[in-house]
Amino acid sequence: MLTPNVDLNGKTVLVTGAAGFIGSNLVTELMKTVDKIKIVGIDNMNDYYDVAIKEYRLEEIEKLAAEKSGAEWIFIKGSIADRALIDRCFEENGIDVAVNLAAQAGVRYSITNPDVYIESNLIGFYNVLEACRNHPVEHLVYASSSSVYGSNKKIPYSTDDKVDNPVSLYAATKKSNELMAHAYSKLYNIPSTGLRFFTVYGPAGRPDMAYFGFTNKLRNGEKIQIFNFGNCKRDFTYVDDIVEGIKHVMQCAPEKENGADGLPIPPYRVYNIGNNSPENLLDFVDILQQELIRAGVLPADYDFEAHKELVPMQAGDVPVTYADTSALERDFGFKPSTSLRDGLRKFAEWYKEFYM
């Protein structure tokens, strides 16, 4: 077990992508549990998916910030690709810990819209790294992705595995983030930790994710397409588990130390955060439909068989994701534990409240 060496109480934390799915949940958790915290959130509020969901997340944060004495919340609408904005943010706020969750997400979207991935995931992340170099932080934590494993044949996926064969531009940008962070850790002694997230889901999630898209289509009486003829497995990870993992990691920065040559050993780590229990896509859809009926999103007599279509694999997709989380358990005594049914139940209940 690692000993925490970053006290978040009374600190200023930057969360990029603060209106995003993971970012907004992290801001909420920090505000609820950390004393006298100042959180600076940045998000460009782009329309990759329904902006109303991002606005809803921000409204929930604003409500909480108004109730929580001692906590300070500053929101900046802007892009991390704007170098001057990022520099100004660090200069004016004295950032202690930076959590970079801003990124253009989506494997399939990267095939048709590559420019936005270069702008956000590469240029944006470079700007954050430069700001951490010029305004040293105690810890930089950043989002990577299970996509870096590509078509890795060995399962479960371990951070010790080689990840040199991305099958999408999105995956390539996330692998690039890890390489860039390693270089900056080595050159400038910036403590950094990358987190490879595995298929995150939950209430107020991303509408481009399968569970959300399936729900929208089923409610509209449309057919859902299940790729690879249903022979896909995904390591679905509930958002609260992801946030708990991030919070553990934030408090344990890699130690700065020099090697035998007198030069810094890069204070750098990478972890998987996944459920360590991949679920078959057909089983996942079955549980989803049960929970949608239970929540009243769909009628009890809904004909699912008539609304399912098994189709081939799509370009950029992989058949299995499966996280080896042993390093996370070893260093933090933490392992995601929310069952798929519990997580989908919470999503279905939120969906009913938000849309109906």
Q: How far is CA 84 from CA 78, 81, 124, 242, in A?
A: 11, 9, 11, 31
The Cα 126–Cα 81 span in angstroms is: 8
Q: Are 134 and 118 in contact (CB under 8 A)?
A: no
Catalytic residue ranges: 170
Give me 349's structure tokens. Answer: 């209940």
Q: List, in sequence order, every residue forming a beta bridge with 238; answer none if it has no partner.
A: 201
> Locate tokens 């020099």: which residue?
258
The Cα 194–Cα 196 span in angstroms is: 7
